[in-house]
């Protein structure tokens, strides 16, 4: 009876051992070891479904199984490493997939400490259903030497030969479909975690939780705007003006978008207002000033320093006055996003970036 209660746990443990055998047998050089790896991997994938089914059907769910099953799932994801070693997949998709696993694991640990339960949703189950067969297909993509095989491995070898004949765009498509579903499941987990967290903070009131969640939307856009400004400063400092200009212009669009979203969703907060102000100072003040300074260094550092300081000082005063006066239908002066756009576009223009013309535009 005790052995029956541990049946699901033994199956889960065999999944961990199976992944270890896959690591031991890779990288393989012949179709013999390739067939064995595919066979072991198939067995490992089957155990991923069998252990949970038996635990629920026979009502033998245990605390050990609750620990072993997610651990085995995380170890199973590591089969991407031998695939990377054998060049069946590139590093960036693996980074996205592994990053998702670590983020979800961290969210579950944090949620558990706060008394929240995060179960697997449809997107997570779909991610597993797609990832497991794609990895098996990638094992068949690797070129190997053909050697005589036992009769029981011939069907696997025929299947491997069929998969190996597929064009490369099919493999690339499968990989990016897998990555897309993986990122979708990550977004699903994040949304579930945020909803449960804010619902708990709102004492179970869905309306209050939704109102608090609405604040995240314009604030997230404002944060991206701030990041654009920081990156624009870095690019401008290293004379990568076109990239810096693109980021400043993108920040201009985001600055208009976050305000519209805040008004449409009725999602205003003191934190959002302060974050928006900081983003404006960086994206429309510091970043264009660095562009002006670095661009004007061609005409001597005194002029470059003067123009950079004059521009930033003007924008700082403009934004400070705007913060003190607040939003109004009556607008005095040139909006800082418009001024920033004019200055950075002039900096990359062939005719407008000459010393006297550029100085005049900045002033």
What does the pLDDT look like over 271-286, one tens digit per residue? Answer: 777 888 888 888 888 8
> Is the pLDDT confidence value at 4 over 60?
no
> Is the pLDDT confidence value at 288 over 50?
yes
pLDDT band at 80 (very low <50, low <70, confident <90, very high): very high
Identify whether 281 is preceded by a cis peptide bond (ω within 30 of 0): no
pLDDT band at 3 (very low <50, low <70, confident <90, very high): low
Q: Where are the alpha helices (DSSP H) in 202-286?
A: 206-237, 241-265, 270-281
> How far is Cα 219 from Cα 185, in angstroms, rounded to an integer?
23
> Is the pLDDT confidence value at 11 over 60?
yes
Q: Please answer whether residues 250 and 279 qualify as being in contact, where contact means their C-beta atoms are separated by less than 8 angstroms.
A: no
Percentage of the residues of the chain whose pLDDT score is greater than 70: 90
150's tokens? 């036992």
Q: Which is more confidently placed, 5 or 219? A: 219
> Is the pLDDT confidence value at 181 over 90?
yes
Percentage of the residues of the chain whose pLDDT score is greater than 90: 18
pLDDT band at 137 (very low <50, low <70, confident <90, very high): very high
Q: Which is more confidently placed, 347 or 211? A: 347
Cα→Cα distances 122→129, 188, 217, 230, 354, Å: 11, 9, 24, 37, 59
pLDDT in tens, 46-57: 887 777 677 677
The DSSP line for 126-168 is: HHHHHHHHHHHHHHTTS--B-----GGGHHHHHHHHHHHTS-H
Q: Which residues, including other chains, have CB under 8 Å from residue 115's CB and lie 6 or more apart?
A: 200
Q: Please answer whether residues 26 and 8 qualify as being in contact, where contact means their C-beta atoms are separated by less than 8 angstroms.
A: no
C-alpha torsion 252→257→263→266, nearest 10: -120
> How far is Cα 168 from Cα 218, in angstroms, rounded to an integer?
41
> How far is Cα 84 from Cα 30, in angstroms, rounded to an integer?
18
pLDDT in tens, 219-273: 888 888 889 889 989 988 888 888 888 988 888 888 888 777 777 777 677 777 7
pLDDT in tens, 12-32: 888 889 999 999 999 999 989
Decide: helix, strand or coil at residue 6. coil
> How far is Cα 247 from Cα 290, in angstroms, rounded to an integer?
13
> Is the pLDDT confidence value at 179 over 90?
yes
- At residue 245, the pLDDT reads 87
- At residue 182, the pLDDT reads 92
Name the least confident of 16-20, 33-37, 303-307. 303-307
Q: Which among 328, 179, 337, 195 is positioned nearest to 258, based on CA atoms? A: 337
Q: Which is more confidently placed, 201 or 90? A: 90
Cα→Cα distances 94→171, 241, 278, 293, Å: 14, 32, 35, 41
Phi first, then psi, for residue 143 (nearest 5°) are -70, 135
- At residue 138, the pLDDT reads 92
- At residue 55, the pLDDT reads 67
- At residue 1, the pLDDT reads 45
Look over the chain and give the mean of its residue pLDDT values, rounded to a whole number.
82
| Residues forming a β-bridge with 30 | 145
């Amino acid at each position: 009876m005790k052995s029956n209660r541990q049946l699901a746990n033994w199956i889960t443990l065999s999944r961990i051992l199976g992944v270890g055998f896959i690591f031991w047998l890779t990288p393989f050089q012949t179709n013999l070891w390739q067939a064995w790896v595919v066979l072991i991997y198939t067995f490992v994938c089957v155990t991923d479904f069998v252990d949970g089914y038996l635990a629920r059907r026979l009502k033998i769910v245990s605390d050990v199984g609750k620990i072993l099953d997610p651990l085995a799932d995380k170890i199973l994801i590591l089969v991407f490493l031998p695939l990377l070693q054998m060049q069946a997949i590139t590093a960036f998709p693996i980074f996205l997939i592994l990053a998702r696993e670590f983020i979800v694991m961290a969210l579950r640990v944090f949620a558990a400490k706060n008394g929240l339960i995060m179960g697997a949703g449809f997107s997570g189950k779909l991610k597993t259903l797609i990832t497991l067969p794609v990895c098996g297909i990638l094992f068949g993509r690797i070129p190997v030497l053909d050697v005589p095989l036992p009769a029981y491995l011939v069907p696997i070898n025929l299947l491997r030969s069929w998969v190996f004949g597929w064009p490369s765009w099919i493999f690339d498509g499968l990989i990016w479909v897998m990555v897309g579903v993986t990122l979708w499941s990550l977004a699903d987990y994040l949304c579930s975690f945020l909803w449960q967290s804010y619902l708990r903070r709102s004492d179970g009131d869905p309306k209050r939780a939704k109102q608090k969640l609405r604040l995240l939307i314009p604030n997230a856009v404002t944060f991206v705007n701030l990041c654009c400004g920081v990156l624009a400063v870095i690019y401008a400092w290293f004379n990568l003006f076109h990239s810096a200009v693109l980021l400043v212009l993108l920040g201009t669009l985001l600055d208009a978008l976050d305000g519209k979203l805040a008004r449409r969703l009725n999602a205003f907060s003191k934190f959002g207002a302060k974050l928006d102000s900081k983003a404006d100072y960086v994206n429309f003040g510091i970043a264009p000033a660095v562009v002006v300074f670095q661009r004007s260094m061609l005409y001597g550092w005194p002029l470059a320093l003067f123009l950079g300081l004059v521009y930033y000082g003007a924008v700082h005063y403009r934004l400070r006055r705007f913060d003190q006066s607040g939003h109004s239908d009556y607008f005095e002066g040139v909006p800082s996003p418009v001024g920033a756009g004019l200055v950075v576009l002039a900096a990359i223009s062939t005719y407008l970036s000459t010393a006297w013309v550029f100085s005049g535009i900045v002033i």
